[in-house]
Amino acid sequence: MIKKMKKTTLGGSRWVAPSALYAFGALALGGGAILARVAFGPRAAILLGAVGALAALWVAQRATLYPRVYLGRPMAFLGLLLSLVSVNESLGAVGYNVLWRRSFQVNGVFAVYTDPTAGWRVEHPTRWVTVNELADQSITLSFKPSMLSQSMIFSVTRKPGDGKTDVRDWADRFLFRLPKSDRTLILERRPFRYPDGRDAFELIYEDPLQTLPLRHRIVFVNQGNELFMLSVAATPGHLDRLGEEAERFLLSLRAPSAIS
């Protein structure tokens, strides 16, 4: 007598061993999305979080249909929660960054300013306005967003020099004369080689007691018989977001002979 074969559907099959491995994988993807947000940024977290959410939904659906085979449904739901939190927070960060860059007219495109008299040049965000300021023995040229001007400024200051004084000495003199409080923070002082081979010196400082606390990055460079001070000033959070633009501006000074 031929015995009837047992049903082999996945829900009650004797050939499929119960396992929580799929649920654990969904949880791992959710946790990985959280870690990716910290290590690699919001875009990586969005990608991994989306994959994790889809995987968790699939595991939860299979666990509902075949609870004896796909174990660990609570684990899958936890992975889904982590993935959704990661995606939601990362989308907010990306969206905020886009709106922030649009508000401050920063789009990655740079224009070249060439001094009409001396011929030196610098690069600046193309949509920013230019303002000239005269002071005793110095001329400052500022670039800033046309609508939000006080919390973000790039500037070039020229003052007479002798072409021989070391840029470190100029930085020390500037720091000595700088109006500051006992809480002024000198965050960095370092010599470095400018892209065209000249000696340069960078000073980074901030004073939290100012009405609008700004962080200042200043690069000192000798050019002929003049000292050039290229400065970026912004709130610390804004300066972090402006890292690429600030670096490009601070290293963009070129002498007339370097202009093709």
Task: Give 138-158 pLDDT, tens digit per residue.
Answer: 788 988 887 655 578 899 999
What's the Cα-to-Cα distance from 160 to each of 126, 170, 197, 226, 254, rounded to whole Å?
Answer: 29, 11, 21, 5, 17
Q: pLDDT grade, residue 135 (50/70/90)?
A: low
**Full-model pTM:** 0.69
Residues 6+ apart with CB under 8 A from 39: none
Mean pLDDT of the residues in the chain: 84
pLDDT digits (tens, 9 = 90+) for 50-72: 999 999 999 999 888 888 888 88
Q: Check residue 107 and give its pLDDT.
A: 81
Neighbours of 11 (CB within 10 A): 14
Q: Whole-angstrom Cα distance, residue 243 to residue 260?
A: 28
Q: Check residue 71 and give its pLDDT.
A: 87
pLDDT digits (tens, 9 = 90+) for 175-233: 888 877 677 889 999 999 999 999 999 999 998 777 778 899 999 999 888 899 999 99
Higher pLDDT, 97 or 35: 35
Q: pLDDT grade, residue 127 (50/70/90)?
A: confident
Q: Check residue 123 and give its pLDDT.
A: 94
Q: Check residue 80 and give its pLDDT.
A: 93
Residues 6+ apart with CB under 8 A from 133: 139, 140, 141, 142
Higher pLDDT, 26 or 237: 26
Higher pLDDT, 96 or 74: 74
